[in-house]
Amino acid sequence: MAFLELQAIRKKFGGLPAVDRVDLEVDEGEILALVGPNGAGKSTLLKAISGMQPATSGSIRFDGVELVGLQPHVVRRLGISMALQHPRVFDSMTVRENVMVAATFGGERRATEGEARSAADDAIEFVGLGPRADLPVAGLNLHQKRFLAMAGALVGAPRLLLLDEVMAGLNDAELDESIAMVRTARDERGLTVIWVEHVMKAVMSLAERVVVLNFGRLLADGTPAEVMTDEAVVEAYLGTTGAAP
């Protein structure tokens, strides 16, 4: 039994499938990149796993438990957390307060303030925002805001991390730092990572396996080198963005 197993997952908005009968198996400890042109259904697929946008049909089993039909906070409690492509942050609140909000979501019971604080501080330290824990989020730059989103996802010891474009817009040094952090999360915390990314440099250096979506369908699945030289993949990118991945 795979750690995570998707069977014929479909998500429709109105009549149109954004994700169309996707089958996917992910092993524990994998770092898997999910790539594809804009609108391919990547975010929708992650949200179907997290329960934020429930699948219309199909099955998602996580460590043997069926996730389709479960509320997002229940999925979170089972150990799946997500860093959103467009996170909502509370600008006037401090870094710690923001992560504490994430820490109280999906707990077995309502965490005490002390528990939420200590879980938040652990995640904040892990992403390197410790010195800024008491500062308002409004003062953070893009890179720090992305690390804040990662801290929110890492809080409370998840087992599967879903990351949606957490590296977009970063410079080379920031990118290297983010890549190292995700790798450390896997190596030291045993996390499994499914990570949507357009930044190919990051995909090539971090991912062990790459899955490509196109028009909601699974187009390719293999090592980064295999997938990036796959004719259908190159064509999908050429057809939509004018640039090879």
Interface contacts to ligand ATP, rule CB under 6 A: 13, 18, 36, 38-44, 85
CB of 198 to Mg ion, least distance (A): 9
CB of 189 to ligand ATP, least distance (A): 26
CB of 137 to ligand ATP, least distance (A): 23
Task: Kindly tell me which of 9 and 18 has the beta carbon lying closer to ligand ATP.
Answer: 18
CB of 175 to Mg ion, least distance (A): 18
> Is residue 24 packed enough to be buried (19+ CB in 10 Å), middle (13-18) or exposed (0-12)?
buried
Residue nearest to Mg ion (CB): 43
Output the CA–CA distances (angstroms, integers) from residue 20 to 57, 164, 219, in the order listed: 10, 19, 11
Task: Kindly tell me which of 111 and 206 has the beta carbon lying closer to ligand ATP.
Answer: 206
141 binds, options ligand ATP, Mg ion, none, Cβ within 5 to 8 A by partner type: none
Task: Kindly tell me which of 42 and 132 has the beta carbon lying closer to ligand ATP.
Answer: 42
Binding pattern to Mg ion, positions 33-62, x when CB under 5 A?
A: ----------x-------------------
Residue 188's SS3 state is helix
**Category of 63 on φ-ψ map: left (φ > 0), alpha (ψ -120 to 50) or beta:** left
Nearest C-alpha neighbor of 169 from the set 144, 186, 132? 144
CA atoms within 13 A on the CB side of 224: 15
Residue 140 burial (CB count, 10 A) = 19
Stretch 69-128 residues interacting with Mg ion (CB under 5 A): 85
Task: Kindly tell me which of 43 and 53 has the beta carbon lying closer to Mg ion.
Answer: 43
Measured distance CA(167)–CA(214) in Å, rounded: 21
Where along the sequence are the contacts to Mg ion (CB under 5 A)?
A: 43, 85
